[in-house]
A and B are shown apart, each in its own frame.
Chain A
């Protein structure tokens, strides 16, 4: 339940294995094979980047807190695990997810405000009729089985910050890595505390200001040294330990004592690092055009 992730609907109904998630999506596409072939779309992560940027713009105009934006992103991902995106107007779904998330995160926005802001931002795709968004809200809640309470990694991150005595810089970086994980399938695959641990770990190992992003392999190797089977402490092969390496060692030994699923953390960090790789191919224009094609052709904006 709300305080207890282990008894939550998120854990019981919205955590999938990679295989299940891919099967579910395959099945969705199979049911609409013609549609899928007719309207190709970019990599899911690229689309997610696009949606996230659009959501960010919309949220900024209404001064919406990050937690509500994060909830909206999870709603989108859950919804599109059950509904073929080409059957929807993603802009309407985006605005609706934000509207609903704001209510659930206790920072409600009036439906008219959301619709008018959304219309200003996407005049070609949103009509000024609030009932469209109201209807879409029914759709969203129904597909999510009214399971609307979302556990985010931010809470764990805040708790760990004290426990591990992390520097503010590292926490901020971990925080933005958590923000980025919503662009991947991770919210549907791993528990939020695993994300938090991974984000902290990556924040200490990937210092974007220093040498650019390290490879997934290096980070994963350091992480796996935290697993009980490994005898070798992290960073031994890299010469004398720097402050950063000490921090990593501290985290690693802390992890080794705990019961955090290290394998999940490794997978998780690989997922996030490959997101940063894919990001280089991101092209806003392509996303926009490919979405516009099916929305316009199918009259989904009406």
Chain B
């Protein structure tokens, strides 16, 4: 009869026990709330809705400067899978106090409540419970960082050209929605772009997003530093005070390049803020851009000389890195990349082709006023080349099965730790793989 019984070795018992204790620790992140429930403060605020009455937490997804994201399943009538973003209270450890909600959390709560678009991550609800903010989102199985990493490890093989086209189209479509509604995202990067199991792209993380309709102050004075360094537009690197939606399009260009090459195109090193909190010139990042695109000139970018950090540009070497077969700069980078990643020359639909280069060049345009807008980018012939149509499911026709998002239950120190960077469950810590730490905020 032993053959019909489930295996019950010591190992499985241990594994079971471990799983159970891990489950408990993840659950503990949400249990703080229950402790506080026992002694409601006088006249104090108590939530009408309890996170744990509606959701069962199944594991930890990632963490950032804002707090942590958990995977959960609905209970008591709430159906489906969810990602719950728990904002960390200001002071962790000891007793949590109300210290005022960060402006970034306020913006994200307000914007997510207001926005609704098929290419934006869908907010289910926000629960404010026992000094913590829980934002409940639809669950997306993948994100672009995870997809890029899947194609680079253990062996490198290209993301199909049709998939890239669909991803880019959906991304631009979501961005057009944001920009027509006067919202700047200001932190577009692969890790913030989700993809559902049905191949739908969803822009996420509005933690740095803000409205830019007639701001009371210039955008710079609000947040000194925006956008993760590798995706930061040249006008931001040069200290522009009045930047525009074009900064998001630069990031889209960087993401497009990264989908093609499976590596960040401008992988600079961030100069840290000094003790006086002055914003340093990001020389190394600028250098990386110049190596591929060449030095910006005032002929091509008339506003260049008015950039606050213009004089710093002299310290950047103007040497262009790649030049081959009579091609220079971005063009050389592009064709070398397609070759080394392994895009076949035929059929034409399997290769991003010359239209891909043209679109990329127009997104990575130095002059923000000449850079394509989201609307113009969507009209680019790249999307209609070879008489194809862009698929709404970016996985359409693909044989690759992307692994499910890794969700770890190993999260013992949830109440204490506040790791920098975008740590992802299951994957190596980004700070170890060389991903830049999350944007700094003033």
Which residues of A108-128 are within 8 A (CB) of B?
Answer: 108, 111
- Using Cβ atoms and an 8 Å threshold, which residues of chain A touch B98? 130-135, 137-138
Chain B residue nearest in CB terms to A145 = B113
Are B45 and A4 closer than 8 Å at their CB atoms? Answer: no
Give the distance in Å from the alpha carbon of A65 to the alpha carbon of B112 in the complex.
Answer: 25
Are A9 and B217 closer than 8 Å at their CB atoms? Answer: no
- Using Cβ atoms and an 8 Å threshold, which residues of chain B touch A106? 210-211, 215-217, 222
Which residues of A252-302 are within 8 A (CB) of B?
Answer: 299-300, 302
| Pair count A-B, CB < 8 A | 108
Residue A213 CB within 8 A of the other chain: no
Are A3 and B216 closer than 8 Å at their CB atoms? Answer: no
Which of A96-104, A196-204, A222-230, A241-249 faces chain B?
A96-104
Are B181 and A137 closer than 8 Å at their CB atoms? Answer: no
Given A3-B182, A65-B216: A147 touches B113 (CB 8 Å cut-off): yes
Which residues of A125-178 are within 8 A (CB) of B?
Answer: 130-139, 141-142, 145-149, 155
Are A137 and B109 closer than 8 Å at their CB atoms? Answer: no
Residue B273 CB within 8 A of the other chain: no
Bitwise interface map of A from 2 to 13 toward B, beta carbon under 8 Å scored 1, else 0: 111001110000
Give the distance in Å from the alpha carbon of A108 to the alpha carbon of B101 in the complex.
Answer: 11
- Using Cβ atoms and an 8 Å threshold, which residues of chain B touch A24? none
Residue A105 CB within 8 A of the other chain: yes
Give the distance in Å from the alpha carbon of A142 to the alpha carbon of B129 in the complex.
Answer: 9
Q: Among A104, A145, A300, which residue has the most Cβ atoms of chain B within 10 A?
A: A104
Are B128 and A142 closer than 8 Å at their CB atoms? Answer: yes
Given A2-B183, A148-B106: A137 touches B100 (CB 8 Å cut-off): yes
Residue A62 CB within 8 A of the other chain: no
Given A131-B98, A133-B100: A147 touches B110 (CB 8 Å cut-off): yes
Are A141 and B109 closer than 8 Å at their CB atoms? Answer: yes
- Using Cβ atoms and an 8 Å threshold, which residues of chain A touch B100? 99, 111, 130, 133-134, 137
Q: Among B45, B181, B211, which residue has the most Cβ atoms of chain A within 10 A?
A: B45
Are B106 and A139 closer than 8 Å at their CB atoms? Answer: no
Residue B275 CB within 8 A of the other chain: no
- Using Cβ atoms and an 8 Å threshold, which residues of chain B touch A149? 110-111, 113-114, 211
Residue A35 CB within 8 A of the other chain: no
Residue A1 CB within 8 A of the other chain: yes
Given A146-B126, A148-B110: A1 touches B103 (CB 8 Å cut-off): no
Are A9 and B216 closer than 8 Å at their CB atoms? Answer: no
* Chain A residues within CB distance 8 Å of chain B: 1-4, 7-9, 65, 67, 87, 99-100, 103-108, 111, 130-139, 141-142, 145-149, 155, 299-300, 302
Give the distance in Å from the alpha carbon of A138 to the alpha carbon of B101 in the complex.
Answer: 8
**Distance of B187 from chain A, by nearest CB (Å):** 17
Give the distance in Å from the alpha carbon of A299 to the alpha carbon of B126 in the complex.
Answer: 30
Chain A residue nearest in CB terms to B101 = A137
Are A4 and B181 closer than 8 Å at their CB atoms? Answer: yes
Given A1-B114, A106-B217, A108-B103: A138 touches B97 (CB 8 Å cut-off): no
Overall SS of chain B's interface = loop
Given A147-B114, A302-B42: A134 touches B97 (CB 8 Å cut-off): yes
- Using Cβ atoms and an 8 Å threshold, which residues of chain A touch B106? 100, 103-104, 148
- Using Cβ atoms and an 8 Å threshold, which residues of chain B touch A141? 101, 109, 126, 128
Are A2 and B128 closer than 8 Å at their CB atoms? Answer: no
Residue B376 CB within 8 A of the other chain: no
Give the distance in Å from the alpha carbon of A3 to the alpha carbon of B113 in the complex.
Answer: 14
Residue B355 CB within 8 A of the other chain: no
Residue B297 CB within 8 A of the other chain: no
Given A67-B216, A106-B217, A111-B99: A146 touches B110 (CB 8 Å cut-off): yes
Give the distance in Å from the alpha carbon of A8 to the alpha carbon of B101 in the complex.
Answer: 23
The 3 A-B pairs at the shortest CB distance, nearest first, are namely A134-B98, A111-B100, A148-B110
Contact of B99 among A100, A108, A134 (CB under 8 A): A134
**Distance of B41 from chain A, by nearest CB (Å):** 8
Residue B326 CB within 8 A of the other chain: no
Give the distance in Å from the alpha carbon of A104 to the alpha carbon of B109 in the complex.
Answer: 10
- Using Cβ atoms and an 8 Å threshold, which residues of chain B touch A300? 43
Are A3 and B114 closer than 8 Å at their CB atoms? Answer: no
11 additional A-B residue pairs with CB within 8 Å, beyond A1-B114, A132-B98, A299-B43: A1-B181, A7-B116, A104-B110, A106-B217, A130-B100, A134-B99, A138-B128, A141-B109, A141-B126, A148-B110, A302-B42
Supply 13 A–B pairs (Cβ within 8 Å), ascending by A. A1-B115, A2-B181, A4-B181, A105-B216, A106-B210, A107-B216, A107-B217, A131-B98, A131-B99, A135-B41, A135-B45, A136-B45, A138-B131
